[in-house]
Structures are given as C-alpha cells and as structure tokens.
Amino acid sequence: MLDESFSGSSIDTDDWALYESNGNADFGLRRPSALSVSGGYLTITASMESGSLVSGGMEHRHDQTYGRYEFRVRTDEDPSETMSGVVLTWPASDVHPRDGENDIYETLAMPGDRSEFYSFIHEPFGTVSDQDRTVHPVSASSWHTMAMEWTPEWIKLYRDGVLVKTIDETSDDLIPDVAHHAAIQLDAWGNSLPADVTMQVDYIKVYAFGGC
C-alpha cells in the first residue's frame, strides 16, 4: 500500500525514483531539480534552463498487479501546447505496449486552456494506438480526484467520486495482467517553452488488489 501525502519538504527517494534522462520522445530533459515538495503538494515545474526545456517525473519503487489507485491533481494551462501532465501505471517489465499502460490522468499538450483531459487504457499485446479513450469534459487546471480500480475482470475509472467508465475484460485481452507501478510525469511535446508550467499532486494512494 502507498499513502503519500507530500507532507514533508522533500521526496522520499526510498519510495520514489526520480527521472534523470532525456524527455518524452527525446523532447527536453527530465531532471530531479524540476520536482519539489512544499505546503503539502508535489510540484513539477517545466521551465527553460540554459536553452533546454527541463521538466521531470518520478516512479514508485513498488510494483503490483491490480489494485486501487487514487490521487488529487491539477496542471497549469499552457497556451503554447507543449506540456502534458500524466499520472499512470507503467509495467515493471518496461515492455510496452505488450504489457499495457494505464494513463489514469493525461492532459495531452492540447487544448492549451486545459478545458478537458483524458484517460487511456492501453491494451496488452496491441500497438501503441490500441487503447480505450475517455474524455473528461472538465478543466484540468482545477483540482480533481481521480481513481482507478483494476481487477482481472474490469477496470473502473472515477472522477471526483463518480464512476465514469467501466472496461470489461474480453477475449481481446483489453486489461493488463502483469505488475505495474505508479508514475507521475510532466512531459514535454516540444523543445521550447515561453513560460513556466507546473503540475501539482496533493496526494496519491495505492491499495493492493482485494482492498478496492
């Protein structure tokens, strides 16, 4: 179980691995310096540093198959349509798309006014494009509580306490069935950014399968 309220002044690196790599699709850089904890929030800040777009992300060190994932999140508006906030589960194997990917909250880089955001459940063994897509027609720049209940038979997605989507398992193998871990990322879709963009997470909780 994970119950992270970001109540301290730093990220517990015994629990979280901070990214230090090239960015999403090699756009920009991911650096630990982009992440901070203050006032009960995790903040990821994307900014230009010495001509490079620097942002960040982190992944939890615990892997599990199935369970309940819940968090409260917001992402700044971005008129440049460069940055995408994502909270997801990623396969422990790092083999994608074979082992799936559950993007519970993803703003994408557009629309820049954050008038909506999305959930994408990537099907195992398919292509990157084989996914179930849910549109959330509310502002991603406001706070929202998102939850995913993941079992062998179904995935249920909740927004602000309301069930918005149920994906049932079928013979087409729509639901991942291998261990994943939680990750939080502010991803670049370009190499320049005219003004800083932040993503904030108030808390994240993960329960083992059977605790849903």
Distance CA 37, CA 41 (A): 6
CB 123 within 8 A of CB 100: yes
SS (H, E, C) 20-53: CEECHHHCCEECHHHEEEECCEEEEEEEEECCEE
Mean pLDDT per 10-residue segment, the chain (212 residues) = 94 97 96 98 98 98 97 98 98 95 97 98 89 97 98 97 96 91 98 98 95 52
Give me the pLDDT at residue 82, please. Answer: 98
pLDDT at 211: 53
Q: Which of 160, 166, 182 minimizes the C-alpha distance to 68?
A: 182
Assign domain 2-207 to a CATH class: mainly beta
What contacts 81, CB < 8 A, 6 or more positions away? 109, 110, 111, 112, 189
Q: Tell me, what's the pLDDT at 204?
A: 98
* Cα–Cα distance measured from residue 2 to residue 101, given in angstroms and rounded to the nearest whole number: 19
What pLDDT sits at residue 126?
A: 83
Q: Where are the domains of the chain?
A: 2-207
Q: Which residues neighbour 137 within 8 Å (Cβ) at sequence distance 6 or greater?
A: 115, 116
